[in-house]
Amino acid sequence: MRNELYKGKRIAVDFILEKDGRLYAVEAKCWPAYLEGSLKRLTLNNIERVKREFKTPFLEEDFVKEYRIGGRSIDGKILVWWDIEGAEAESIKGELNLEGLISIKQILHDIKGEARVVEKYKKVVEKYRTWANQLFRALLE
């Protein structure tokens, strides 16, 4: 069990990344497409709506300063999103006080031609499609 606190309250993030002795809190908000797709692309124009929709202290200005993991402070925070307005990425990072901003869509685009990675990716997608089909069949029965 992880011991994570923000201003004295238990707040878990999606995962903790340690790199080169630095500790990062990571949140992966990859499901905004379910909000009629209105937030699947993170832009400067929708940051305030994102803050309202995702009521998480992770997006608060003082999160890095106040967040503790087992009494240890973090060095930064990283946000993973489905799609990001590329030209605005640095400004978005500044607005949300992020050390890193990662686009899942961009990662998938970047690996598109790498045969070994694509085959591995297809196997994972097929596994989840099979599971989803089984689930929906069971729900219909």
Residue 81 lies in a domain: yes
Would you say residue 121 lies in a domain?
no
84 three-state secondary structure = strand
Quick check: is 138 in a domain? no
CA distances (Å), origin 91, targets 17, 115, 129: 23, 34, 37
pLDDT (0 to 100) of residue 114: 67
In the chain, the number of structural domains is: 1
Overall pTM > 0.85 = no
Confidence (pLDDT) at 1 = 46
In a domain, 141, yes or no: no
For residue range 86-119, list pLDDT tens digits in order.
899 999 999 999 999 999 888 877 777 666 667 7
Q: Which helix (H) or strand (E) holds 51?
A: helix 47-53
Contact 30, 94 (CB under 8 A): no
pLDDT tens profile 44-59: 999 998 888 888 899 9
Least confident of 10-24, 43-57, 123-137: 123-137
Which of 141, 11, 2, 17 is CA-nearest to residue 79?
Answer: 17
63 falls within a domain: yes
Model confidence at 83: pLDDT above 80: yes
For residue 41, what are the domain limits?
4-111
Please determine, for residue 74, whether its predicted confidence score (pLDDT) is greater than 70.
Answer: yes
